[in-house]
Structure 1
Amino acid sequence: MEKQKWYKNPEMLIALTALFIGLITAFISIYSAYIDRAYAKASVWPKVEVFRSKGKDRFSYGVANRGTGPAIIKYVKVSIGKRYLQRWSDLPEFDSIYQSHISSTTLPAGEMLKPLVYKGEAVENILKIDKRLEIELCYCSIYDDCWVVSRSLQAHPVEQCEVNSKQAFLQ
């Protein structure tokens, strides 16, 4: 009687087939979990925009979340030249303003915040300062994916939001 090769044995073929099906099932499960995670992240993805509005006797800065999830604002930097501001009142031209707190705020999807509103006759003075003013904002999603955005509206991904305390805007 001739001995059969191991791979021709029916029990071994069944075992190898079961192993192959198990490996494919495991791969599909892992890939499905990866896709589900990516979908979950995309479904709560914030997209923050920093903008300004001006009118005849009005001027304002705004921050809007145009994404699908909340934006956790970690820090804001406001600078004019190489000088970092901690409050709007650091500039004498911003003495007659209405303001809202923006640093360390959670901005829900579809919401807008106006951190500075000016109403008065000296809008031209404010516009002169506005040309030199830089605003940088760092925000994260609930999954700790973080981005930095400025008035250019181009968000850049970053590992995490860190700021020097001397550069942080406190208002």
Structure 2
Amino acid sequence: MKKDIWYKKPEMIVAFSALLISVVTTIIGIYSTMIDRSYARASVWPRVELYRSFSPKDGLFSYGIMNNGTGPAIIKYAKVTYNEKPIKKWSDFIAATNLVQSHIGIRILPSQANFSAVSIKDKTYLTEILKMDEQIAIELCYCSIYDECWMVDRSNQPIEIAQCEISDEQRFMQ
């Protein structure tokens, strides 16, 4: 009697075929899940940008923040420095009389939304503000709903970071 080699038996060929199909299906499932997660992250990716605007005619100067991303930005902290020294609020170094400010330190900024962080309407103070503008540095740290975090400054080039941390001495409060 002729003895068959074990892997050439019909039931073994069927078993190996089933195993191969299972492995391929598992790989496709894992790859599909990775694509779905990437798509989900991309569909809620925030992109925060800082801007300034001024109108010499009206004596209006402002700093604004906008979210041009596809998802909400959870702003964890703001850091504002003037002459490389951290400040707590705009009125600490801006003496304009018509100063309107918004809280920017902890905020959720919806997709495609913007707001004015500070607006100054004072024609007599405008030239001084424009000189001060060169010494002002603004830094925001924000995260997506998936806790992916970025830091952005006035260059508007976000840098991905592990998490948003800042000391209370450097945190901008207003």
Q: TM-score range by the shorter chain?
A: over 0.9
- For 2:134, what is the secondary structure of its paired residue? helix
- For 1:21, what is the secondary structure of its paired residue? helix
Mind listing any 5+ residue stretches in structure 1 that lack a counterpart? none
Q: Does 1:64 align with 2:66?
A: yes
Task: Choose the corresponding residue for 1:85, options 73, 84, 87.
Answer: 87
Aligned partner of 2:140 in structure 1 is 137
Aligned partner of 2:53 in structure 1 is 53
Q: Which moved more, 1:10-19 or 1:119-128?
A: 119-128
Task: Choose the corresponding residue for 1:127, options 130, 152, 169.
Answer: 130
Could you state the TM-score of these two structures normalised by the residue count of structure 2?
0.96
| Closer/same/farther in 2, CA of residues 94 and 137 from structure 1, 3 Å limit | farther
Note if contact 1:88-1:94 (Cα within 8 Å) is conserved in structure 2: no
Q: CA RMSD in A?
A: 0.8
Count of residue correspondences? 171
- For 2:28, what is the secondary structure of its paired residue? helix
Task: Choose the corresponding residue for 2:112, options 100, 110, 113.
Answer: 110
Aligned partner of 2:75 in structure 1 is 73
Show structure 1 runs of 4+ deviating over 2 A: 92-96
- For 1:15, what is the secondary structure of its paired residue? helix
1:96-107 correspondence runs (5 A) = 96-107=98-109
- For 1:31, what is the secondary structure of its paired residue? helix
Cα distance in 2 between the residues matched to 1:110 and 1:58 = 24
